[in-house]
Amino acid sequence: MISFTCDYNEGAHPLILSRLQETNLMQEPGYGEDRFTASAKEKIRKATGCSQADIFFLTGGTQTNSTVIDSLLHAYEGVVAVQTGHIAVHESGAIEASGHKVITLPQHGGKMSAEELRLMLEKFYSDPSWQHMVIPGMVYLSYPTEYGTVYTKDELLSIHRICKDFHIPLYIDGARLAYGLAASSLTLQEFAGLCDVFYIGGTKVGALCGEAVVFPRGNAPQHFFTLQKQHGAVMAKGRLLGIQFDTLFTDNLYLQLGRHGVETANKMKEVFIERHIPFYLESPTNQQFPILTSRQMKILNGKVAYEIWDTLADDRCVCRFATSWATTEEQIYQLSQILNY
Amino acid sequence: MISFTCDYNEGAHPLILSRLQETNLMQEPGYGEDRFTASAKEKIRKATGCSQADIFFLTGGTQTNSTVIDSLLHAYEGVVAVQTGHIAVHESGAIEASGHKVITLPQHGGKMSAEELRLMLEKFYSDPSWQHMVIPGMVYLSYPTEYGTVYTKDELLSIHRICKDFHIPLYIDGARLAYGLAASSLTLQEFAGLCDVFYIGGTKVGALCGEAVVFPRGNAPQHFFTLQKQHGAVMAKGRLLGIQFDTLFTDNLYLQLGRHGVETANKMKEVFIERHIPFYLESPTNQQFPILTSRQMKILNGKVAYEIWDTLADDRCVCRFATSWATTEEQIYQLSQILNY
Amino acid sequence: MISFTCDYNEGAHPLILSRLQETNLMQEPGYGEDRFTASAKEKIRKATGCSQADIFFLTGGTQTNSTVIDSLLHAYEGVVAVQTGHIAVHESGAIEASGHKVITLPQHGGKMSAEELRLMLEKFYSDPSWQHMVIPGMVYLSYPTEYGTVYTKDELLSIHRICKDFHIPLYIDGARLAYGLAASSLTLQEFAGLCDVFYIGGTKVGALCGEAVVFPRGNAPQHFFTLQKQHGAVMAKGRLLGIQFDTLFTDNLYLQLGRHGVETANKMKEVFIERHIPFYLESPTNQQFPILTSRQMKILNGKVAYEIWDTLADDRCVCRFATSWATTEEQIYQLSQILNY
Amino acid sequence: MISFTCDYNEGAHPLILSRLQETNLMQEPGYGEDRFTASAKEKIRKATGCSQADIFFLTGGTQTNSTVIDSLLHAYEGVVAVQTGHIAVHESGAIEASGHKVITLPQHGGKMSAEELRLMLEKFYSDPSWQHMVIPGMVYLSYPTEYGTVYTKDELLSIHRICKDFHIPLYIDGARLAYGLAASSLTLQEFAGLCDVFYIGGTKVGALCGEAVVFPRGNAPQHFFTLQKQHGAVMAKGRLLGIQFDTLFTDNLYLQLGRHGVETANKMKEVFIERHIPFYLESPTNQQFPILTSRQMKILNGKVAYEIWDTLADDRCVCRFATSWATTEEQIYQLSQILNY
């Protein structure tokens, strides 16, 4: 059986494993004080064009979101996200567990509308009882979104402008950043200038685990490390994260893996289009949402794994097929062959 | 330079790396639903003799402690620990961040006194204003302790008995469990019967990361997984933890690595004893606390790394030298040679 | 100027003040151990027909909601409420501050739909990733709602039934309970049987402060007092709350004050109806929502105070006029006279 | 039976009740926007000599402590207090519930030693692993302490100086401030200059409830009101607090009640001294700690109520006898007569 259920079905990119092997018995200090971590940070500063960036390595997405958000909010503040935002739905209340409300806006193909954001903020401060309400203290986006869509440069600029007007930071969840960049004309450097903090997702782009939080202008809040520790988000063997990101940011591997994921997704898209299978929405990245009939699902049964997102009134299902850095042409070909029946 | 600063200076045991390599491109589901994790759980159930055990894999110690403790306490309860307990000192307030007080007792060589525990609990409930105070809701020990010492079977029995009398669970932090067992006559099976939940530390015993929480009698609180996710303690690629523990619990590797750590510690101990270097306390495990003079420290300077724990009135220092699964006889020999000057 | 801005514009019912005066120098223990509190509890048990009820007195609504909700939820659970529920909007994130998400449903005239509740719960548990989401742990309603509307007996029965089916408690916020009961055919006894915990609001019905939490079947969670203390919700001079509720539950004063508020509201309603002023929605309780033109608002300016809730597209405003236990016929007459201009 | 168990056994000073009566039906806005609250703030600004002070009224001590402390700490910070500090013992973990550790120092007659504070802070920052620990973010004292003792001006100056050196605020819990000032040569104005925030306790000095938080130099953290609301610490009928503090700060009533409490305590002290009853410690304020024999306790039994704090090895008990603004000479005389038997 081949699986397109997600982009974390395999282990790590082979170069990462080799590097772990090579460095295995070198003695290095813990908690990210090792030389691999230092080197990874330097390479990320170069790749993002942010020579002053503060960088921290954490293990996974939920942990990263809850640590970053907690580090930027006062106790009386909440974070603004779309209703389908990862923090609003799939983190078991990690944000609320650190005391903060997720203030939701409607989603449009997974994206936040700049206009709706501005209206909400204006309405908030014009409400005579705003002091009795959770104060919007930051904005959270994901790039690409949970639906695989990507914000345009103009959309990010507008949202960032609104955040500046209201003196709140913009945080971008880049769990799949490489796939987003591969599907857009934005460079990583440009991207880094369009927000106040973001993370570069490793887990879904070839690492065993790991996310790199970047405060692009050296703007990390004081004592971020201590808060990271408090969130259980510091690895004793920080080298594991350092080595992985050092590898991912050597010879542009990270961006290259992103391109591979998008290229294979495009090929997979062709497979569906050729068979007149419609899509729930147009996604330019590694997650695709074909709408399958029960007959089609029966054909795939036991041969191809994928996720079911929703059941439509006519019994067809919105499905998610994800490619990744590890997807092979052979797997796409097999999918195509199976669907031929 | 050779380092004895801690037991997480190196990567992973070579068998773990090979296993990661071998399994790397096998497609498996995420979040611990993979076959490696299932196999690891089965092997741990066998090794602990707890066929009904509920087992969860987390990434690091602080994360594990705060998740387990939060899962067992009501909002109005605190956890009892000794003043030097890891949760009381070195977790940046992770326990308090989830709303719970760490109620402290004095330490004796890092250990809790059963008698003092009983007295505290009795005094608590006889205080007329106990309802205005944090209710002791569980007991936390570490085995071995932060000072490398280990509880005897009788000590554990007494403490567990008191916990039962007061209807509160006993939780044992086994970050270095393998070293503790190697230094004691307790078997892992006996150990598992002496508490209500414990974790088997991987990070400090040959894994890149990972701790296995064991509820020995299938007594995990409901929805532990959801709470784990909320604490940012679920790995998308759960296989990373599954593969590591599957390897550690194949052919007794875990206990064997513990024995190796203690054997090299004993050899290191000899090196100090031969030079009439006294110890701050008697530790039977992989952490040793020699008291060094400034002259001795000068000799080691730049050649051997270790931790300074405290400065005594006469300017001598209590130092920590840790061996591990990775320590070689050659490293001990070098230490001995350097100290000869 | 007369004010209809809210139902807490005045002090306390005169009988409460006299009783405070009479008892002022009697020495009584603190923290609710006084005889007035004991008597108030007994009277509430009688009035609700719940001889086994556990009763606690707290100071205000937000405090009561956050304490009760925190006492009933596990760390991984959230509370279900409508989007306009007090806890979802006007409590500055008090629920999230204790770690819990407010899971929202649409509102219909301020009310929750039983059907939508059931669908949401069913959908939740059929979602394959439900373990990655906040588990719905209880349902919160307000009676009357923030829009002055009241649930029918059948509506409450349906919602309570669903809660039972999913093994979660139903909590009703009765900040204005007396006004709700006065507008309905439900008795306090029947009401008490339709949920698992509720509070009887004092602040808005003639007390200086104070809300009485009732667990009708002796079903208070263990150590509720300690949690109450932790929430800063225990008064040292508990007598202040005891005396007030003892007075409110003597000779049916509480229900009588509710009827007075609704009767004066009905007279006020007539004033608007006679002038063809429409209402935003039909409310049977002490809060009325007339839609005023800017001309009408100009007439009232400086003479009558009220709250503006929303501005409509045609520049008319949805306004809130609240009567209370303290509203006089004279005040209604004056409003009517002023509107005649 | 007469009671000396605490200073909150009675209702309120008669002038407060009269003022509540007089103002009862005046319509005023809620949430502290009323004219009484405004007037009370102005009077407190005058009495403290702090014309720029930010002032907030809350209901009780635990609530006030947890709100103020939460408003001043970052998520990674804790509050330093002595082991017997109210926040460390008798607030059911309210500080921890908002995520913060109480870092304890030894007490000396209930007081913190400036020297021990400085040593602790110096040691903290010289510990190589300080970033893994809770960062001391503020200092909490009570004046008078839980043992009735008072800091001298020099002691407060020293502690405040250390706080400034480490850039952390000093917060003083003045639950019984009036009794402390009456027993010292410090004026309220001087006191206000010796810390960064304090509260003026009403509950224990003649109010039904209420504490006034004073940020003497207009230094309240932003959005304190919203945080207060989140802590359930905003009264809808804020007038109740405003009227009480307006009365207490008219014609020096507050300080006068403090003096009355101390004068009656001094007379009570005489009663014990004349009978050669020793004291556990020397307290100059309204709480006295005589050590009674079981014979003496038998004599008092059923006639005089007081608190038992501790049982000594010889079966004698450390007892607490508190006077207050309400204690009469007649009550002291009765105590004296009863002890004559």
Does D226 contact A71 at a Cβ distance shorter than 8 Å?
Answer: no
Is it the case that residue B246 has pLDDT exceeding 90? yes
* Residue C273 belongs to domain with CATH number: 3.90.1150.10
Here the ipTM equals 0.97
Residue-wise pLDDT tens digits, A298-317: 999 999 999 999 999 898 99
- Tell me the residue range of the domain where C199 lies: 14-251
Q: Is C229 on the interface with B (CB under 8 A)?
A: yes
Task: For residue C92, give the chain A residue with the closest CA.
Answer: A133
Contacts of B93 in chain A (CB under 8 A): 230
User: Which chains have 3 or more CB–CB distances shorter than 8 Å to chain A?
Assistant: B, C, D
Same domain? A268 vs A312? yes
Work out the average pLDDT over B68-94. Answer: 98
Residue-wise pLDDT tens digits, B131-170: 999 999 999 999 999 999 999 999 999 999 999 999 999 9
Q: C8, C204, C306: best mutation site toward chain D, by most D Cβ within 10 Å?
A: C8
Three-class SS string for chain A?
CEECCCCCCCCCCHHHHHHHHHHCCCCCCCCCCCHHHHHHHHHHHHHHCCCCCEEEEECCHHHHHHHHHHHHCCCCEEEEEECCCHHHHCCCCHHHHCCCCEEEECCECCECCHHHHHHHHHHHHHCCCHHHCCEEEEEEEECCCCCCCCCCHHHHHHHHHHHHHCCCCEEEEECCHHHHHHCCCCCHHHHHHCCCEEEEECCCCCCCCCEEEEECCCCCCCCHHHHHHHCCCCCCCCHHHHHHHHHHCCCCHHHHHHHHHHHHHHHHHHHHHHCCCCECCCCCCCEECEEECHHHHHHHCCCEECEEEEECCCCCEEEEEECCCCCCHHHHHHHHHHHCC
Residue with tokens 């097929």: A321
Same domain? C292 vs C177? no
The count of domains in chain D is 2
Half-sphere exposure of A81 (CA within 13 A, CB side): 25
Share of chain B above pLDDT 70, in %: 100
Is it the case that residue D174 has pLDDT exceeding 80? yes
> Which residues between 238 and 277 in chain D have a beta carbon less than 8 angstroms from any beta carbon of chain A?
none
Q: Is B96 on the interface with D (CB under 8 A)?
A: yes
Q: How many CB atoms lie within 10 A of CB C119?
A: 12
Q: For residues A230 and A232, what is the distance between their CA atoms, to the nearest angstrom?
A: 5
Residue at which a domain ends, from B251, B275, B297: B251
Does C232 contact D94 at a Cβ distance shorter than 8 Å?
Answer: yes
Task: Quote the pLDDT of residue B74.
Answer: 98
Task: Quote the pLDDT of residue A114.
Answer: 98
Same domain? D135 vs D177? yes
Does D128 contact B76 at a Cβ distance shorter than 8 Å?
Answer: no
Nearest Cα to Cα of residue D4 among D225, D250, D304: D304
User: Which chains have 3 or more CB–CB distances shorter than 8 Å to chain B?
Assistant: A, C, D
Same domain? C247 vs C260? no
Work out the average pLDDT over A126-131. Answer: 95
Q: For residues A76 and B145, what is the distance between their CA atoms, to the nearest angstrom?
A: 39
Q: For residue A207, give both structure tokens.
A: 């690492």
Distance (Å) from the alpha carbon of D227 to chain A's nearest alpha carbon: 5
Task: For residue B133, give the chain C residue with the closest CA.
Answer: C226
Q: For residue D253, give both structure tokens.
A: 């009533």
Residue-wise pLDDT tens digits, C140-165: 999 999 999 999 999 999 999 999 99
Task: For residue C98, give the chain A residue with the closest CA.
Answer: A99
Same domain? B150 vs B277? no
User: Which chains have 3 or more CB–CB distances shorter than 8 Å to chain C?
Assistant: A, B, D
Q: A6, A96, A231: best mutation site toward chain B, by most B Cβ within 10 Å?
A: A231
Share of chain A above pLDDT 90, in %: 99
Residue at which a domain ends, from D206, D221, D251: D251
Residue-wise pLDDT tens digits, A12-36: 999 999 999 999 999 999 999 999 9
Does D132 contact A226 at a Cβ distance shorter than 8 Å?
Answer: yes
Residue-wise pLDDT tens digits, C257-308: 999 999 999 999 999 999 999 999 999 999 999 999 999 999 999 999 999 9
Does D132 contact A75 at a Cβ distance shorter than 8 Å?
Answer: no
Residue-wise pLDDT tens digits, A210-263: 999 999 999 999 999 999 999 999 999 999 999 999 999 999 999 999 999 999
Contacts of A66 in chain B (CB under 8 A): 232
Same domain? B229 vs B162? yes
Contacts of C230 in chain D (CB under 8 A): 62, 91-94, 97
Same domain? C317 vs C176? no
| Mean model confidence pLDDT for chain C | 97
Q: Which residues pair with C56 in a beta bridge?
A: C213
Task: Quote the pLDDT of residue A184.
Answer: 96
Q: What CA–CA distances, in Å, run from C222 to A32, B261, B328, D63?
A: 44, 46, 55, 22
Q: For the purposes of burial, counting CB atoms within 10 Å of the CB of C251, is it exposed (0-12), middle (13-18) or buried (19 or more)?
A: exposed
Work out the average pLDDT over D109-121. Answer: 98
pTM: 0.98
Share of chain D above pLDDT 90, in %: 99
Q: Is C167 on the interface with B (CB under 8 A)?
A: no
Does C20 contact D11 at a Cβ distance shorter than 8 Å?
Answer: yes
* Residue A39 belongs to domain with CATH number: 3.40.640.10
Distance (Å) from the alpha carbon of C99 to chain A's nearest alpha carbon: 4
Roughly how many angstroms between the first and final C-alpha of chain B, as a whole number? 16
Q: Is A15 on the interface with D (CB under 8 A)?
A: no
Residue at which a domain ends, from C251, C282, C317: C251
Does D96 contact B78 at a Cβ distance shorter than 8 Å?
Answer: yes
Does C131 contact B70 at a Cβ distance shorter than 8 Å?
Answer: no
Distance (Å) from the alpha carbon of C125 to chain D's nearest alpha carbon: 30
> Which residues between 320 and 339 in chain B have a beta carbon less than 8 angstroms from any beta carbon of chain A?
326
Q: D73, D76, D100: best mutation site toward chain A, by most A Cβ within 10 Å?
A: D76
Same domain? B74 vs B117? yes
Confidence of residue B103 (pLDDT cuts 50, 70, 90): very high
Query: Do B306 and B319 touch, CB atoms closer than 8 A?
Result: yes
Residue-wise pLDDT tens digits, D17-71: 999 999 999 999 999 999 999 999 999 999 999 999 999 999 999 999 999 999 9
Residue-wise pLDDT tens digits, B247-281: 999 999 999 999 999 999 999 999 999 999 999 99
Is it the case that residue D341 has pLDDT exceeding 90? no
Distance (Å) from the alpha carbon of B95 to chain C's nearest alpha carbon: 13
Query: Is residue A117 domain-resident?
Result: yes
Nearest Cα to Cα of residue B104 among B125, B126, B123, B89: B89
Find the CB nearest D92 among B97, B132, B308.
B132
Residue-wise pLDDT tens digits, C91-135: 999 999 999 999 999 999 999 999 999 999 999 999 999 999 999
Find the CB nearest C209 among D10, D12, D235.
D235
Task: For residue B101, give the chain C residue with the closest CA.
Answer: C230
Find the CB nearest B226 among A21, A92, A236.
A92
Residue-wise pLDDT tens digits, D238-261: 999 999 999 999 999 999 999 999
Distance (Å) from the alpha carbon of C156 to chain B's nearest alpha carbon: 29
Query: Is residue A21 domain-resident?
Result: no
Q: Which residues pair with C198 in a beta bridge?
A: C172, C214
Roughly how many angstroms between the first and final C-alpha of chain A, as a whole number? 16
Find the CB nearest C99 among A97, A134, A308.
A97
User: Which chains have 3 or more CB–CB distances shorter than 8 Å to chain D?
Assistant: A, B, C
Amino acid letter, residue C43: K
Same domain? B175 vs B282? no
Is it the case that residue C341 has pLDDT exceeding 80? no
Instruction: Give the range among A14-18, B337-341, C245-249, D197-201 with minimum mean pLDDT.
Output: B337-341
Contacts of B91 in chain D (CB under 8 A): 132
Contacts of D129 in chain B (CB under 8 A): 90
Q: Can you tell me whether residue D127 is helix, strand or coil?
A: coil
Q: For residue B213, give both structure tokens.
A: 């929480």
Contacts of D133 in chain B (CB under 8 A): 89-90, 92-93
Does A223 contact D76 at a Cβ distance shorter than 8 Å?
Answer: yes
Task: Quote the pLDDT of residue B341.
Answer: 77
Total beta-carbon pairs less than 8 A apart between chain A and chain B: 159
Confidence of residue A341 (pLDDT cuts 50, 70, 90): confident
Q: What CA–CA distances, in Å, run from A60 to A73, A210, A233?
A: 20, 6, 9
Q: Is A232 on the interface with D (CB under 8 A)?
A: no
Q: For residue D323, give both structure tokens.
A: 């006077």
Distance (Å) from the alpha carbon of B208 to chain A's nearest alpha carbon: 7
Q: B77, B101, B310: best mutation site toward chain D, by most D Cβ within 10 Å?
A: B101
Task: Quote the pLDDT of residue C309.
Answer: 92
Nearest Cα to Cα of residue B174 among B139, B211, B210, B209: B211
Same domain? D239 vs D271? no
Does B229 contact C74 at a Cβ distance shorter than 8 Å?
Answer: no
Q: Is A20 on the interface with B (CB under 8 A)?
A: yes
Backbone angles phi, psi at D199, to 5 degrees: -125, 145
Same domain? C160 vs C287? no
Q: For residues A164 and A193, what is the distance between their CA atoms, to the nearest angstrom?
A: 13
Q: Can you tell me whether residue B154 is helix, strand or coil?
A: helix
Residue-wise pLDDT tens digits, A207-219: 999 999 999 999 9
Distance (Å) from the alpha carbon of A100 to chain B's nearest alpha carbon: 13
Task: Quote the pLDDT of residue B56.
Answer: 98
Does D134 contact B102 at a Cβ distance shorter than 8 Å?
Answer: no
Same domain? B75 vs B216? yes
Find the CB nearest D92 among B89, B97, B133.
B133
Distance (Å) from the alpha carbon of B82 to chain D's nearest alpha carbon: 14
Task: Quote the pLDDT of residue C5.
Answer: 97
Q: Is C9 on the interface with D (CB under 8 A)?
A: yes
